[in-house]
Amino acid sequence: LAKTTQPISMDSYEGQEVNITCSHNNIATNDYITWYQQFPSQGPRFIIQGYKTKVTNEVASLFIPADRKSSTLSLPRVSLSDTAVYYCLVGDMDSSYKLIFGSGTRLLVRP
């Protein structure tokens, strides 16, 4: 399974765009990239998933360069309620259920 590396923490202010980059140098051909968000005392929540190029939904965008060795989660105009831990995961078809959660990125949004 591909290992991921993300910054331990990030600070931002309300209204700013936040970009969290995840490195996955050993990503395999069948691997998808998935991001989750977790608030204290809650389970992780699925945010977005992608394979290549760009994916956008109502809450975030995911940018994946051609070599797929990294990905960037983009949160537009963050609010205080976006303060959470964000996890980047890589999973393949054979073991997609064996998600390996790293330490994630702790995002703090300040007023």
What's the rounded Cα separation, in Å, for the pair 60 and 20?
A: 11
Sign of CA dihedral 72, 97, 44, 46: positive
Could you say whether residue 19 binds other proteins (CB under 8 A)? Answer: no
Among 5, 103, 108, 110, binds other proteins (CB under 8 A): 103
> Could you tell me the smallest distance in angstroms from the CB atom of residue 79 to other proteins?
21
Could you say whether residue 59 binds other proteins (CB under 8 A)? Answer: no
> Could you tell me the smallest distance in angstroms from the CB atom of residue 101 to other proteins?
4
Binding mask 21-40 for other proteins (x = CB under 8 A): ---------xxx-x-x----
Toward other proteins, which CB reaches closer, 48 or 75?
Answer: 48
> Could you tell me the smallest distance in angstroms from the CB atom of residue 2 to other proteins?
12
* Number of C-beta neighbours around residue 66 at 10 A: 7
Q: How far apart are the first and last CA of the chain?
A: 38
Q: In what order do the strands lie in the sheet with 84-91?
A: 9-13, 105-110, 84-91, 32-38, 45-50
